[in-house]
Amino acid sequence: MTPVKNNLLLRALRNETTSRTPVWMMRQAGRTDPMYRELRQRVDLPLEAMFRDSDISVEASLLPKRIGVDGIIIFQDILTPLTPIGADFLFRPGPQLKTPIRCETDIEKLRPIDPADDLAHVGRTIRGVRAALDGDLPVIGFAGAPLTLAMFLIEGKSPGRNPERVFSMMRDKPASMHKLLSKLADMTVAYLRYQIEEGVQTVQLFESMADIITTEQYATFAHRYHERIFAALSNDVPKILFAKERSEMNLLASSGADVISIGNCVDLRECRATLGDRVAIQGNVDNQIVATGSTDDVRRAVRECIDAGGSTGHVLNLSHGLLQNTPFENVQAFVDEAHRYSAAQTESAPERSATT
Cβ-based nearer residue to ligand CP3, 223 or 320:
320
**Is 47 a residue that touches ligand CP3 (CB under 6 A)?**
yes
Binders in 189-248 for ligand CP3, by CB under 6 A: 206, 208
Kindly tell me which residue out of 11, 18, 30, 186 binds ligand CP3, with binding defined by CB under 6 A.
Answer: 30
Residue nearest to ligand CP3 (CB): 30
Residue 276: CB atoms within 10 A of its CB come to 8
Residue 332, classified by CB atoms within 10 Å of its CB into exposed (0-12), middle (13-18) or buried (19+), is middle
Report yes or no: 237 and 203 within 8 Å, Cβ to Cβ: yes
Strand ranges, E, within the chain: 72-73, 89-91, 95-97, 139-144, 202-207, 239-243, 259-261, 280-285, 314-318
Position 141 contacts ligand CP3 (CB under 6 A)? no
158 binds ligand CP3 (CB under 6 A): yes
**Shortest separation between residue 296's beta carbon and ligand CP3, angstroms:** 25
Cβ-based nearer residue to ligand CP3, 324 or 355: 324
Output the smallest distance, CB 40 to ligand CP3, in A: 5
The reply to whether 73 sits near ligand CP3 by the rule CB under 6 A is: yes
Does position 26 interact with ligand CP3 (CB under 6 A)? The reply is yes
Q: What contacts 281, CB < 8 A, 6 or more positions away? A: 259, 260, 261, 262, 268, 271, 272, 275, 309, 313, 314, 315
Check residue 121 for interaction with ligand CP3 (CB under 6 A).
no
Please give the C-alpha separations between residue 259 and each of 244, 281, 313, 335, 341, in angstroms, as whole numbers. 14, 5, 8, 21, 23
CA distance 166 to 237: 33
Please list, in sequence order, all residues whose beta carbon lies within 8 angstroms of the beta carbon of residue 84, skipping any fewer than 6 positions away: 111, 113, 114, 118, 119
- Minimal distance, residue 266 CB to ligand CP3, in Å: 17
321 binds ligand CP3 (CB under 6 A): yes
Element (H, E) at 161: none
Helices (H) and strands (E) in the chain, counts: 19, 9
Strands 89-91 and 95-97: antiparallel
* Of the residues 48, 53, 77, 267, which one makes contact with ligand CP3 according to CB under 6 A: 77
CA atoms within 13 A on the CB side of 270: 10
Q: Which of 22, 71, 95, 163 binds ligand CP3 (CB under 6 A)?
A: 95
Distance CA 129, CA 121 (A): 12
Which CB sits closer to ligand CP3, 32 or 312?
32
- Of the candidates 14, 27, 165, 278, which one interacts with ligand CP3 according to CB under 6 A? 27
Cα 113 from Cα 120, distance rounded (Å):
11
Which residues 162-181 are close enough to bind ligand CP3 by CB under 6 A?
Answer: none
Alpha carbons within 13 A on the beta-carbon side of 116: 4
The window from 87-95, 122-130, 162-170, 292-300 that contacts ligand CP3 (CB under 6 A) reads: 87-95
263 binds ligand CP3 (CB under 6 A): no
Nearer to ligand CP3, 73 or 169 (CB): 73
40 binds ligand CP3 per the rule CB under 6 A: yes
**What is the nearest approach in angstroms of ligand CP3 to the Cβ of residue 78?**
4
Q: Does 28 bind ligand CP3 (CB under 6 A)?
A: yes
Mark the segment that binds ligand CP3 (CB under 6 A) among 27-35, 180-188, 221-229, 230-238.
27-35
First to last CA, the chain: 23
Q: Kindly report the backbone phi and psi dihedral angles of residue 39, in degrees, each rounded to the nearest multiple of 5, phi listed first.
A: -60, -45
Which among 103-111, 297-305, 306-314, 319-327 is the span making contact with ligand CP3, rule CB under 6 A? 319-327
CA 305 to chain centre: 19
CB of 288 vs ligand CP3, minimal distance in Å? 14
Nearer to ligand CP3 among residue 118 and residue 155 (C-beta): 155
Residues that bind ligand CP3 (CB under 6 A): 26-31, 40, 47, 73, 75-79, 91, 94-95, 142, 158, 206, 208, 320-321, 324
